[in-house]
A and B are shown apart, each in its own frame.
Chain A
């Protein structure tokens, strides 16, 4: 068991689901007090209709996390089409503090040359795109979740040469698609405009099963997610060696402090990955874990990792 050299930072991605304001407050209070993460992304990324429920709490949450020594970044919407979405994106882009993570080209347009982070919805797949983004003021790039290890290595090396932070999601459901249509509303025979926020009842996504009863996907409003949680615990050593500077945990409706502890302990070399994996599986209950995308195969698969750190 070795301590990972050039230790990457642990980050907590934005909450993808429609958790109530109260649940969010409690969640971030615990993250501030207990979770060993370095940076936290806040903000509504999926559905502009949800934002009014919790954006009022944003200043206090930011202050709370800052007091706990955590860097805060606000993420912008992945889909920008309606007037209120364009306005929200423009407003965020005008802020000087905290940092912002842009998830739509409308945000890039509004931000101009001011420093910003590139979110996972921006499709920074390669070194040419990353170089372009760096020239426009990007300071940090979160790579697409489906990028395999070889491409991550090339992208990370290019980004590091340009002095950009490089981030990869190592835990939580993968975002597989977004749409203009709300599939939560559709499941309840409603339209997006008349959704009555049915998505609030599925705090970890609405499960879809095939007709032969196999769990396959999760619906989260306009977003479709993987059924499995990505778990790149055993791959963290290689990610760090390849130049990835930030590792992202996506908030799921499980004990996220416990999850962060497991990843932190492996990074610190105080827990071996076999034991950590068992621990993580225990925290995730019945949800399956996967690392297929990283290994260049079907995303839902779990590949055995031979070279462990």
Chain B
């Protein structure tokens, strides 16, 4: 049986301490700039805060993983290099990278550093994963949320590194690291700036009938009836019409969260080394509840007990959950 490490999100130092105290094996976080894919206003760590966070986590036996998982545009690579140097100096336990230039820099400059391949690199085949392992010494791959459990089991036998899969949180629909939807409407890039539907371009309007519409850069993404649950104002979770659908529909995906709590034993059995919880943009309350529930579940499974998963639906987007591609390829 693999160790089934629990990898937890932290958007602030307080959230990091909360995650560690709730039983995280490792916490992932980023600096307050474009070097990570959650470059949101008021979120993330200053170098001083990250140093303190590493000390706190290490004192309690937890690891800190630094996300450097965006793609530097030409002319700005130094920002990513400096972030990597800083991470090494502050003693982070691994870097989560996507860009080949960034991976190559860390592999050559800091050969002792541990590299994880971000989901933003979208490596979804054994060959793609081996490319990063053999060239940059990647030790773990974070798999895209598009594979079934039998497919993960098969990949495991064909690659020389560990596997990390998402088990809870935002249900990404597009191939990560290949999405310019936000940039098309707002001028801010997910890959280059680390933003997705930036708050500065989001507006909610309440209507007289009690409904609410969400807009991104002036484009209506969705309109929720008075009693309808809402979701993030992301383009891929919006409602649109098309030639054969006069009534607006969720063209890509409805507001829904991934929850694989029931599949944990199967994932461990398939050889998954680490479980990732999405949500660096979420609150301490989310981190506390989700990490606590999954800590209990993973411990139960490892001790041969049936996992009793607390109901996590209240924390999910649209208050709906799915097992997505992991359960059936009909999802595709």
Contact = CB atoms under 8 A, between A and B. Distances in A.
Given A127-B74, A129-B99, A176-B179, A297 B187 contact: yes
A160 B310 CA distance: 57
B217 interface: yes
Contacts of A106: 125, 127-128, 131
Interface stretch (B1-9, B101-109, B256-264, B314-322): B101-109
A126 B191 contact: no
Nearest to B217: A298
Given A182-B332, A193-B330, A187 B131 contact: no
Given A81-B146, A207-B243, A127 B77 contact: yes
Contact of A298 (B179, B186, B191, B330): B186
A8 to B, nearest CB: 18
Interface string B130-171: 111011000000001011000100000000000000000000
B281 interface: no
Contacts of A20: none
A254 interface: no
A297 B182 CA distance: 11
Interface stretch (A21-29, A37-45, A143-151, A266-274): A143-151
A210 B219 contact: yes
Nearest to B75: A154
B286 to A, nearest CB: 26
A229 interface: no
A148 B73 contact: yes
A89 to B, nearest CB: 7
Interface string A157-183: 010000000000000001111111111
Interface string B61-87: 000000000011111110000000000
Nearest to B144: A180
A128 B77 contact: yes
A93 to B, nearest CB: 9
Given A89-B127, A181-B173, A181-B252, 12 more contacts: A80-B128, A104-B128, A105-B121, A108-B131, A147-B73, A148-B73, A180-B124, A186-B251, A209-B240, A209-B241, A298-B184, A299-B185
A214 B179 contact: no
Interface of A: 78-81, 85-86, 89-90, 104-106, 108-110, 121, 123, 125-133, 136, 144-148, 150-155, 158, 174-183, 186-188, 191-193, 202, 206-214, 216-217, 219, 224, 226, 292-293, 296-301
Interface of B: 71-77, 98-102, 104-105, 121, 123-128, 130-132, 134-135, 144, 146-147, 151, 173-175, 177-181, 183-187, 189, 191-192, 213, 217, 219-223, 235-236, 238-245, 248-249, 251-253, 325, 329-332
Contact of B175 (A79, A136, A217): A79
For the residues of B in contact with A, the DSSP-based class is mixed
Counting from the closest, the 3 A-B pairs by CB-CB distance are: A128-B101, A180-B146, A129-B101
A187 B244 contact: yes
Given A178-B174, A181-B331, A206-B242, A125 B251 contact: no
A105 B245 CA distance: 36
Given A126-B73, A150-B75, A176-B184, A214 B219 contact: yes
Contacts of A226: 184
Contact of A178 (B104, B175, B217): B175
Contacts of B235: 217
B240 A211 contact: yes
Given A125-B99, A146-B192, A208-B240, A299 B183 contact: yes
